[in-house]
Amino acid sequence: MFITFEGGEGSGKTTLIKRLAEALIERGYDIVQTREPGGSRIAEKIREVLLDKNNTELKPHTEALLFAASRAQHLDEVIIPNWDKIILCDRYIDSSYAYQGYARDLGYDYISKINAYALRYMPDLTFYIDIDPSIGMGRVNSKRGHKIDRLDSETFNFHERVREGYLKMKELDQKRFIVVDGNRTIDEIYSEVMNIILERL
């Protein structure tokens, strides 16, 4: 089972995934926990280029292609070899649809085209943790030790567009793409998501 987690900045995905992984391991499931961009040595190098705040001249098409490149490497090294396990992946192709396709205006078709490989390996379930970008960015800015990266530093308007982009994904795939209300406690979010996973397993 391939499960992905999506959200804007500061949505609490990472904490949620960690808790889910621990609970599923305790129940005896074989879990692989990973993330994008990155998750393998070479993909982490691409991640550095993408998130480096000094790379202000990085162009939208290059950005989208690098995310797709990192995804392809990560698919071959991590996702496909573990296809028989439960894979919990922090971000996948929906991030590209929301951030590059929608917020950067490259369009849905362009993202589909350059991610043709990933489209052959779609998640069984995707949880989008939906929060108001002003709350999310507030969390990111106040998090101690968090280095603000190139995408965190985008305008408020950009982050609003990311959210709109995600909400459009729901219209396209209601069965896979589940919108979770992120304006609740982590315990509440965790219970909802865990129940859905256990139902589907």
Catalog residues that contact ligand TYD under the rule CB under 6 A.
Answer: 9, 13-14, 36-37, 51, 67, 90-91, 95-96, 99-100, 149, 151
Q: At closest approach, how far in Å is the CB of 11 from ligand TYD? A: 7
When the beta carbons of 2 and 67 are compared against ligand TYD, the nearer one is: 67
Crossing angle, helix 186-200 and helix 13-26, to 10 degrees? 50
Q: Which is nearer to ligand TYD, 7 or 197 (CB)?
A: 7
* 138-161 burial: b if 16+ Cβ within 10 Å, else e: eebeeeeeeeebbbbebeeeebeb
In the complex, minimum distance from the CB of residue 13 to ligand TYD, in angstroms, rounded to a whole number: 6
CB 22 → ligand TYD: shortest distance, Å?
19
Whichever of 30 and 181 has its CB closer to ligand TYD, that residue is: 181
Instruction: Tokens for 44, please give them.
Output: 């982490």
C-alpha 74/C-alpha 64 separation (Å) is: 15
CA dist., res. 50 & res. 32, Å (int):
24
